[in-house]
Amino acid sequence: MVKSLGKYFRIWRINAKATLMQRMAFRFNFLLIISGVLLQMVMSLLFLNIIFSFVNNIAGWTYNQALLIVASYMMVEGLNWALFAELAGIGQAIKLGTLDNLITRPMSTQFLISVWRADPEDWGRVITAVLIFIYAVPGLGLGFSQMAVNGFFYFFMIFFALAITYSITLIFKSLAFWFTDTNSLWMLVNQTIRVSQYPTDIFFHRAVRIIFSTVLPLAFMATIPAKIFLYGFNFWLIASSILLAAIFFFGSRKFWQYALRHYSSASS
Amino acid sequence: MKKYFIIFKNSVQTSLAYRFNTFTIFFSESVFLVILLYLWTSIYRQGGHIGSYSLTGLVTYFILSRFVSLIALYDDTAKKMNEEIAEGGAINYFLKPLNYLHKEFAYKLGTVAYRFVVFTSILILALLASGRLSAAAAYNSLPMILFFLIIFFIGICINFLISYSVGLMSFHFDRIQGLNFSIITCISILSGNMVPLDLFPKYLSWLGNLLPFKFIVFIPISIATHRIGATEAPILLLSGLAWLAALYALARILLFFGFKKYEAYG
């Protein structure tokens, strides 16, 4: 098991290095992509700042608390891009028929398709998220020991948030096996994940809140990790997060395997 | 003219063939719109107020901004041109009696026309279902509708020319994704797609008013919601046309220098 994990980690590392070298071959382009990524982060912050220049809370969330949600969203989204490039490779591989190269290798195709186009520039998102987190924390009025304990559970929740985000991305992107032109799928995934940067308490209809906590658990991507950091350990929230992450991960894996059976190579 | 009409027709047919794309774009924008509506409603319910906008005003702005961006904002001209130029496929067009700019524009118009028909129908059906069609029709006079359509078209052309100019950079750089991504993000912020420009901090509002991006989303919506009146029409039309002329000249210059550098593969 450990040996196998080591092998997967080594492949991820080699792949990440190769992608970075590929990006560095076009340095100016790489620099501009990083600028674009940072501009997107600025866009989210600007939106929040504009709202808070008129009001002092959104559905009970103060500015610093809302910043915590944005930081959590950016962290999860950034990791989803930096580690898996939001699974952008699936559509392209199906369209060009290059998926053949991956399915014939003696490894999990899902793993290979997930990591073979990791985006190094998106570590910029993660770093920005961490900086926003550090900026927001002093204004939350938490003591040092409280921050340390809550912080532990918070990063634990971020891990499960990433698992949920990855699984939702995989489900959407697997649709590419039926619909060849998948540019819009990227947009669908992006917009859906983007929703998680707002506190889910804005949904004053109970039914909508339930949908965003179960069917499409966006609440668990940023709002609930932020709540754990603010209010500390909550068994039900943590247990729900683990359960949802497990359901979505195994569900998406099953869906991916089902979708893969519909693959007809385009290269032959 | 006939050859460009064929390109236009091909573009419409391609859009029809990839109907799923249209559906997905519409669905994702609708999901995001619903979230925004909840966000603004939640703020107004707790007694907040955003600038000079009432809740209805802000909701209308965001519904229209989604509608305008569905038709005008998504432009993959640069991406398409980068593939054509970098991989050598563009030579097929350069050797034919075709104006490359006109060819790309005809293609773009095909996509816009398709989306305009689809999304306008959806908007009309939504208004009909909510019983607000006659109120919406009575709200805008014919000259104002015409003014809106002209400015909307200018916005589409401005967005196209920006994307086209970015695409032409493929003559100088193998990869332009970075430039394209940065420009798209700038447009998204400064066109008023995210937040109305008049709610921006002063320095950004000034920048937004200085650049042509406002013609893509903010100005058309301000006309439709009567925040811009008929008295401002001549100056807006002139400045929109001036931007079009400047961007057209830039595109011609970039194409001229691009051709000088071009080495086709294959």
pLDDT at position A250: 94
Q: And the tokens for B57?
A: 């005003």
**Which residues from A are below 8 Å from B197, CB to CB?**
none
* Confidence band of B266 (pLDDT split at 50, 70, 90): low
Chain A: nearest CA to B193, how far in angstroms?
11
pLDDT at position A181: 64
With a cut of 70, say whether residue A198 has pLDDT above it: yes
Domain positions in chain B are: 2-261
Tell me which of A151-165, A213-227, B137-151, B196-210 is least confident.
Answer: B137-151
Q: Exposed/middle/buried for B125, CB within 10 Å: 0-12, 13-18, 19+?
A: exposed
**Which residues from B are below 8 Å from A28, CB to CB?**
173, 178
Q: Is the ipTM of this complex over 0.85?
A: no
Residue type, B20: F
Nearest CA in chain A to B198: A50
Which residue out of A38, A202, A208, A216 would a mutagenesis test of the B interface target, given it has the greatest number of B Cβ atoms within 10 Å? A202
Q: What is the pLDDT of residues A118-137, one digit of tens each?
A: 778 888 889 989 999 999 99
With a cut of 70, say whether residue A1 has pLDDT above it: no
With a cut of 70, say whether residue B203 has pLDDT above it: yes
Indicate the residue of A57, A185, A198 with minimum beta-carbon distance to B24.
A185
Average pLDDT along chain B: 86
Indicate the residue of A36, A57, A58 with minimum beta-carbon distance to B181.
A36
The reply to whether residue A198 touches residue B184, judged by beta carbons under 8 angstroms, is no
The reply to whether residue A43 touches residue B185, judged by beta carbons under 8 angstroms, is yes
Indicate the residue of A37, A58, A183 with minimum beta-carbon distance to B43.
A58
Q: What is the pLDDT of residues B29-74, one digit of tens each?
A: 888 888 888 888 888 887 777 888 888 888 888 888 888 888 887 7
Question: What are the E-state strand segments in chain A?
Answer: none
Indicate the residue of A47, A49, A51 with minimum beta-carbon distance to B43.
A51
Contact of B202 with chain A, judged by CB distance below 8 Å, is answered with: no
Indicate the residue of A33, A37, A55 with minimum beta-carbon distance to B48.
A55
The reply to whether residue B25 touches residue A55, judged by beta carbons under 8 angstroms, is no
Average pLDDT of span A42-64? 87
pLDDT at position B239: 94
Chain B: nearest CA to A203, how far in angstroms?
6
Average pLDDT of span A12-29? 83
The reply to whether residue B173 touches residue A36, judged by beta carbons under 8 angstroms, is no
CA distance A104 to B108: 40
With a cut of 80, say whether residue B193 has pLDDT above it: yes
pLDDT at position B2: 85
Which residue out of B28, B29, B83, B169 would a mutagenesis test of the A interface target, given it has the greatest number of A Cβ atoms within 10 Å? B28
* Confidence band of A182 (pLDDT split at 50, 70, 90): low
Average pLDDT of span A43-50? 86
Which residue out of A54, A171, A186 would a mutagenesis test of the B interface target, given it has the greatest number of B Cβ atoms within 10 Å? A54
Residue B220 vs residues A256, B65, B116: alpha-carbon distances, Å: 43, 9, 15
CA distance A47 to A38: 14
pLDDT at position A247: 95
Q: What is the pLDDT of residues B113-133, one digit of tens each?
A: 998 898 888 888 877 777 776
With a cut of 70, say whether residue A261 has pLDDT above it: yes
Chain B: nearest CA to A51, how far in angstroms?
7
Q: What is the pLDDT of residues B213-258, one digit of tens each?
A: 999 999 999 998 888 887 888 899 999 999 999 999 999 999 989 8
The reply to whether residue B25 touches residue A184, judged by beta carbons under 8 angstroms, is yes
Which residue out of A47, A49, A174, A188 would a mutagenesis test of the B interface target, given it has the greatest number of B Cβ atoms within 10 Å? A188
pLDDT at position A134: 92
With a cut of 90, say whether residue B179 has pLDDT above it: no
Is the pLDDT higher at A238 or at A141? A238
* Confidence band of A46 (pLDDT split at 50, 70, 90): confident
